[in-house]
Amino acid sequence: EEIELISFCDQIAQTFRRTGHREIKLQSEVKEIQAMTIPGKLEQVLVILLDNAIKYSDSGIEIMIKREMDDIFISVKDQGPGISPEHLPHVFERFYRVDSSRARKTGGNGLGLSIARSLVESFHGKLGIESEVGEGTVVTIILSHRILI
Ligand code: ATP
């Protein structure tokens, strides 16, 4: 299905702004990005990423959308505690949780990111993560070669 990504992301962010009482900025250099994707699955992925950003940080969240050639990047950025380099490669594994005390406090099973990655791969995209302890975390959905215009 062809959708306009910026308004699609903004609609999802809007429900989190209301219920999560958190500022969520949407940033894009262009006004519209049309893409071929599976909206229900993309929504599930964004919900998992926004859920984590809200759960693990207490400041503002940013969604950044950009297009470079045939690739579309949708990033969810938070200014939370970040994830240390020894844990970072494992966060997409099922049931992996970084810090048991933090994990106990926030709840969850360590499934969100592994589900998100499977969903993104099911529509031929990629899911990446960058994180810096004390700075925050950026999780990026890359949709490849799915652009119509
Ligand atoms: P759930 O199954 O409810 O999603 P979860 O949040 O523990 O539980 P994942 O989403 O897979 O599971 O995340 C795995 C681990 O990665 C988390 O336990 C957390 O330690 C770490 N993590 C994920 N996102 C962030 C983030 N934005 N900032 C800091 N740590 C994160």
Check pocket membership of 16 for ligand 1, CB cut-off 6 A. no
User: What is the whole-number distance in angstroms between the Cα of residue 149 and the centre of ligand 1?
Assistant: 35
What ipTM was estimated for this complex? 0.96
Within a 13 Å sphere around the CA of 9, how many CA atoms are in the beta-carbon half?
Answer: 28
Query: What is residue 50's three-state secondary structure?
Result: helix
Residue whose Cα lies nearest atom 20 of ligand 1: it is 98
Distance between CA atoms of residues 112 and 74, nearest Å: 17
Check pocket membership of 116 for ligand 1, CB cut-off 6 A. no
Q: What is the pLDDT along the chain (149 residues), one digit of tens a residue?
A: 899 999 999 999 999 999 978 999 999 999 999 998 999 999 999 999 999 999 999 999 999 999 998 899 999 999 999 999 999 999 999 989 887 655 566 777 889 999 999 999 998 899 999 999 999 999 999 998 655 54
Distance between CA atoms of residues 104 and 83, nearest Å: 16
